[in-house]
C-alpha cells in the first residue's frame, strides 16, 4: 500500500493560488498576463485550436513577441492534429518557438499514436505567474460555447512553485535559456514570497516519474479520516486505487465520486460504470454529472489536502501520458474545491445500489471482464518497447531544426525531451545551420 513515505513530492512554502473556473475565468486571466509579459512566455497544451480562443491567444503571443518577449509554445500532435499550418506559420514568422510533441511518422498522413501523449496544460509568464489545470486552449472550454462547453478548472500560481513548472516546460524547449530574463533572473534564485500556502508539483512521464501523481493520491487517501471527494472526467483506475477507496469507505470516510454522465468520449461512461457495483457495495457514493461534459481533475481530502491538474484517473493518464498536478495543503483552497464538487453533485444524478440490481446479468458479466482486462492493460502495453517521443513537425512539409541544448542537466532530468525539434521557416532553418557551421569551424 502506498503511504506518505512513498510520495516523493517536495512541498515548498510561500506560495499563493487563485482558482479559475471554466474558460470564462481562465482565458481572460491568461491573456492579461501574456499582454503584460516582459521577458518570457512558456506554454504547454494538449489541444490548441484555430478558433475564437486560439486566435485571441495567437494575437496576444505575436504582440508579446514583437515587444521582445521570448515565447515558446509546445502542443501535442494528437490533440492539436487539426491545427492548420497558417496558424503555426504566423507564430513562427513572429519569432515564436513552436513545437509539436511526437507527431505521426512522416510516411503516415493520419492522426498520430494515441499513447504517451503530452496531456499537460501549463503556462509560465516571466518566471512569476504559473497556470496549471485541465483547460485546453480551445473554444469548447467556454460554457458560453453551448451545451458541449466543458465544466473545468485551473489555477493561477505565484511563489517558488512557479519555477518548478518553468523547469519542466523549459526542459522540453532546447532553445530555452535564462539569458532573456535579465532583471527577472534573480527571481529564479530568490522568488517572490506572496503567500504562505505549501504546494508540491508532481509530474508524470514514462522514464523517471511514472507513478508520482498516483502515489500522491494514494498517500492522501490512505491517511484520510473524514472525506475523500473526487471529481474527475475519466475514471478507471487500477486495483490499488480502487482498494484504497474501498478501505477508506469501510473505515467511515465519506468517499464521493463525481463522474461524467454525459461524456464527450462515448466509452468513458461504460468503463466507469464497470466499477460501480464494487464501489457501491463498499459504501462509496457515486454521482453522474449531466449538465454538460465534465472535464474536471480535482479532489479534496479531509479539510486541508487538495489537488488540481491535468491527470485523469484512467490508464492513459496514470500509465502513459505526460501529466502534471499540484498538491496543495491549504484549508481555504480545500474549501473552495469542496464547494465546487458540492455544486457538481447538486447538478448530478446519484447512483443508488438499486441501479446495479436492476441491470441485466450480461452487463455485470461484461463489466467483470472489462475491468479485469483493462486494469492489466498498462502492464501488457509496457512489455512492448517504448518509443522515444519526439517534438517534431505536425505536418511533414514543415522544416524543423533540433535547436541547441542549453541546459544538459535539465534535459537529463527529463529524458523524454531529448529529441526535441522545433518548427521553423526555411530562412530561419538556413540561418541556424549557418550559425552552427560557423561555431563548428571555430
Catalytic residues: 119, 121, 126, 295, 297, 302
Q: Which residues contact 34 (CB under 8 A, 6 or more apart)?
A: 41, 57, 60, 61, 64, 125
DSSP E strands: which ranges in 266-377?
285-289, 297-301, 305-309, 323-329, 348-350
DSSP 134-157: S--BSGGGSGGG-TTPPB-EEEEE
Count of residues for the chain? 442
For the chain, how many helices (H) and strands (E)?
Answer: 16, 19
Contact (CB, 8 A) for 200 and 12: yes
Cα 10–Cα 11–Cα 14 angle in degrees, nearest 5: 140
Cell representation of residue 404: 541547441
Alpha helices in 347-425 (DSSP H): 353-357, 361-374, 377-382, 408-413
Cα 430–Cα 433–Cα 434 angle in degrees, nearest 5: 85
Q: Which residues contact 106 (CB under 8 A, 6 or more apart)?
A: 396
Q: What Å distances lie between residue 302 and 153, 221, 247, 259, 376, CA to CA?
A: 20, 9, 15, 20, 31
DSSP 206: S
Q: Which H/E stretch holds residue 75? A: strand 70-76
Query: Whose CA is closest to 173, among 433, 428, 437, 401?
Result: 401
Amino acid at each position: 500500500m502506498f503511504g506518505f513515505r512513498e510520495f516523493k513530492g517536495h512541498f515548498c512554502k510561500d506560495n499563493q493560488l487563485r482558482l479559475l473556473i471554466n474558460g470564462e475565468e481562465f482565458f481572460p486571466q491568461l491573456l492579461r498576463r501574456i499582454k503584460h509579459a516582459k521577458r518570457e512566455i512558456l506554454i504547454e497544451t494538449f489541444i490548441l485550436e484555430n478558433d475564437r480562443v486560439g486566435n485571441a491567444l495567437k494575437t496576444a503571443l505575436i504582440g508579446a513577441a514583437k515587444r521582445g518577449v521570448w515565447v515558446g509554445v509546445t502542443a501535442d500532435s494528437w490533440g492539436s492534429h487539426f491545427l492548420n499550418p497558417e496558424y503555426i506559420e504566423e507564430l513562427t514568422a513572429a519569432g515564436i518557438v513552436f513545437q509539436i510533441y511526437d507527431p505521426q511518422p512522416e510516411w503516415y498522413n493520419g492522426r498520430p499514436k494515441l499513447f504517451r501523449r503530452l496531456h499537460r496544460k501549463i503556462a509560465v509568464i516571466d518566471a512569476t505567474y504559473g497556470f496549471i489545470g485541465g483547460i485546453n486552449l480551445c473554444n469548447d472550454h467556454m460554457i458560453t460555447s453551448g451545451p458541449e462547453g466543458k465544466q473545468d478548472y485551473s489555477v493561477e500560481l505565484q511563489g517558488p512553485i512557479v519555477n518548478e513548472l518553468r523547469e519542466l516546460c523549459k526542459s522540453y524547449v532546447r532553445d530555452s535559456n535564462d539569458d532573456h530574463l535579465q532583471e527577472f533572473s534573480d527571481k529564479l534564485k530568490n522568488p517572490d514570497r506572496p503567500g504562505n500556502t505549501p504546494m508540491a508539483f508532481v509530474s508524470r512521464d514514462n522514464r523517471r516519474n511514472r507513478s508520482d501523481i498516483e502515489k500522491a493520491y494514494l498517500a492522501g487517501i490512505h491517511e484520510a479520516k473524514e472525506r475523500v471527494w473526487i471529481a474527475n472526467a475519466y475514471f478507471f483506475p487500477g486495483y490499488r486505487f480502487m482498494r484504497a477507496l474501498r478501505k477508506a469507505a469501510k473505515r467511515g470516510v465519506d468517499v464521493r465520486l463525481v463522474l461524467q454522465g454525459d461524456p464527450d468520449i462515448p466509452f468513458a461512461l461504460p468503463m466507469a460504470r464497470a466499477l460501480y457495483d464494487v464501489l457501491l457495495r463498499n459504501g462509496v457514493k457515486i454521482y453522474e454529472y449531466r449538465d454538460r461534459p465534465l472535464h474536471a481533475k480535482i479532489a479534496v481530502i479531509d479539510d486541508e489536502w487538495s489537488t488540481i491538474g491535468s491527470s485523469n484517473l484512467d490508464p492513459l493518464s496514470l500509465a502513459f501520458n505526460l501529466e502534471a498536478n499540484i498538491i496543495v495543503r491549504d484549508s481555504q483552497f480545500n474549501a473552495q474545491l469542496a464547494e465546487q464538487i458540492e455544486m457538481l453533485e447538486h447538478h448530478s444524478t446519484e447512483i443508488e445500489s438499486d441501479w446495479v440490481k436492476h441491470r441485466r446479468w450480461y452487463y455485470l458479466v461484461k463489466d467483470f471482464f472489462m475491468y479485469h482486462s483493462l486494469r492489466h492493460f498498462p502492464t501488457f502495453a509496457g512489455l512492448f518497447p517504448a518509443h522515444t517521443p519526439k517534438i517534431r513537425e505536425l505536418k511533414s512539409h514543415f522544416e524543423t531544426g533540433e535547436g541547441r541544448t542549453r541546459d544538459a542537466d535539465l534535459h537529463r532530468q527529463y529524458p523524454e525531451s531529448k529529441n526535441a525539434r522545433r518548427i521553423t521557416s526555411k530562412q530561419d532553418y538556413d540561418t541556424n545551420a549557418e550559425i552552427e557551421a560557423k561555431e563548428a569551424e571555430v
